[in-house]
Structure formats: structure tokens, C-alpha cells
């Protein structure tokens, strides 16, 4: 049997990172911003059944871009983790920070130890009791965990979208203005996205115990009109 060629660790990591980035860049982007009553999450998604944004727990939401099966199994992990923790301790003991750390561990482990890194970027958002305690945790394919302030952009073309979003976004926008801002930032100057092309959900402080709520196409087109 022949010996495998020597490949330096730097090269291995670089190749994996390139591979993951390419996979993520192929998909459509997603943004999340704070607004007056909580956090709004907007994804470019033509499917009405395969979701990129979903509920984890009372005050926690999840969003993922990249390979669907991969971020969906991370989502399921999150729901299970949160529900078991809430059952064993209390609903108050389930928080985004520790979940984000677990995700960072899983993604980091997979990135360094497996043949193929996960081609995903995910966001764990927690709506606080006031704007100052809202949290957005952005986790990269290699396990890098970033605590973002106010807004977060995931997926391909993130820099351009970030720049467009930063121009329009205000922390105390109402829901309508926030959704319009996010959709405009996602679509860019050359095209327009409608309610059909987007998936929108909020974590709203005024939604009772379960803060997560999906906005249907009718509501979204009302905002975009």
C-alpha cells in the first residue's frame, strides 16, 4: 500500500473552510434585526414548507442558511436540548447563550475532526424583556461564535447586504419598517422580492409566553405594499 501524500494542517483547514464557504454562498441569505417590540428574522426562501427560521423555545428562535438537512438537524438538536432542560430545571433556565455555546462546540468539533465540515451558518436569537437584553448569536461553519449587536446577516453576499441594512436599520423601528428594511437589504438595487420569496418570523415581547410567531404572506405583502 502506498503512503498518502503529506498535506500540511494549514492547507487542510483552508480547504475545509473554502469548501464550507462555497456551500454556504450557494444558498440565499438571511437577516435578523432588533425592532421596537423584539427581533424580526427575514430569509429569502421560495419554499413554503421547508423552513429556514423556526422556534426553539419561549423566547428563543433559530435561523440557518446553507445545507438544509444539516441546519435542520441542528435545529432539532436545539429544540430537544431546550425542552429537556426546561423540563429538568425550569423554563427560566433555558437561555440562548448556553445553546449557542453548544452549537459552537458541535460545529467546531465537526470542522476539525470530520472529513467534511457542516456547510451551514446559524443564528440563535433570544428576545429579552427589554431591548437591552435582546441577544443575537451568530455561529459560523467552523464553530466561531459571534455575539452580534442589533443586526445579523447570514449566508452568501453577507457584506453587501450588511452595508445596505446598516443604512436603513433603526433600533426602534416598528415591525412594518423593520420588515421593509430587511427585504430591501436582501433584494438589493437590481431586483424586488415579494412575500412569496421571503420567510418572515418575529420574536415579539407582546406575544405571550411563546414569543415566536410566523408572519403569513398576506401580512408580509401588506407590509411591503
List interacting residues with other proteins (CB under 8 A).
Answer: 51, 54-56, 73-74, 76-77, 79-80, 83-84, 86-88, 106, 210
The CA distances from residue 136 to 55, 115, 128, in Å, are 14, 29, 11
Give the shortest CB-4-to-other proteins separation in angstroms: 28
Nearer to other proteins, 76 or 97 (CB): 76
Query: Would you call 39 helix, strand, or coil by DSSP?
Result: strand
The answer to whether 43 and 63 are in contact (CB under 8 A) is yes
Count of beta carbons in the 10 Å neighbourhood of residue 28 = 18
Q: Looking up cell 464557504, which residue turns up?
A: 21
The CA distances from residue 150 to 30, 59, 132, 194, 216, in Å, are 14, 16, 10, 24, 24
Please state, in angstroms and rounded to a whole number, the distance separating the CA atoms of residues 45 and 97: 27
Give the shortest CB-49-to-other proteins separation in angstroms: 8
Nearer to other proteins, 20 or 56 (CB): 56
Residues near 94 by Cβ (< 8 Å), separated by ≥ 6? 57, 58, 60, 82, 85, 86
The CA distances from residue 111 to 29, 133, 142, 147, in Å, are 22, 31, 5, 20
Nearer to other proteins, 74 or 182 (CB): 74
Nearer to other proteins, 19 or 77 (CB): 77
Give the shortest CB-29-to-other proteins separation in angstroms: 22
Give the shortest CB-182-to-other proteins separation in angstroms: 22
Give the shortest CB-102-to-other proteins separation in angstroms: 10
Give the shortest CB-56-to-other proteins separation in angstroms: 7
Distance of CA 129 to the CA centre of its chain: 21
Amino acid at each position: 500500500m502506498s503512503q498518502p501524500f503529506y498535506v500540511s494542517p494549514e492547507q487542510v483547514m483552508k480547504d475545509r473552510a473554502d469548501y464550507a464557504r462555497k456551500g454556504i454562498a450557494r444558498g440565499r441569505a438571511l437577516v435578523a434585526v432588533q425592532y421596537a417590540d423584539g427581533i424580526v428574522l427575514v430569509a429569502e426562501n421560495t419554499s413554503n414548507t421547508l423552513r429556514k427560521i423556526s422556534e426553539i423555545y419561549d423566547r428563543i428562535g433559530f435561523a440557518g442558511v446553507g445545507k438544509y438537512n444539516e441546519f435542520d438537524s441542528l435545529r432539532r438538536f436545539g429544540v430537544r436540548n431546550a425542552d429537556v432542560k426546561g423540563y429538568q430545571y425550569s423554563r427560566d433556565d433555558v437561555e440562548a447563550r448556553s445553546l449557542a455555546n453548544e452549537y459552537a462546540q458541535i460545529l467546531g468539533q465537526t470542522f476539525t475532526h470530520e472529513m467534511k465540515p457542516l456547510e451551514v451558518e446559524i443564528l440563535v436569537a433570544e428576545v429579552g424583556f427589554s431591548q437591552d437584553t435582546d441577544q443575537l448569536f451568530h455561529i459560523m461553519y467552523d464553530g466561531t461564535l459571534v455575539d452580534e449587536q442589533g443586526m445579523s446577516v447570514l449566508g452568501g453576499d453577507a457584506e453587501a447586504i450588511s452595508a445596505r441594512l446598516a443604512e436603513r436599520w433603526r433600533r426602534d423601528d416598528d415591525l412594518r419598517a423593520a420588515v421593509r428594511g430587511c427585504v430591501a437589504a436582501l433584494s438589493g438595487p437590481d431586483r424586488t422580492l415579494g412575500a412569496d420569496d421571503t420567510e418572515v418570523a418575529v420574536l415579539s415581547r407582546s406575544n405571550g409566553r411563546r414569543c415566536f410567531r410566523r408572519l403569513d404572506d398576506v401580512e408580509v405583502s401588506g407590509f411591503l405594499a
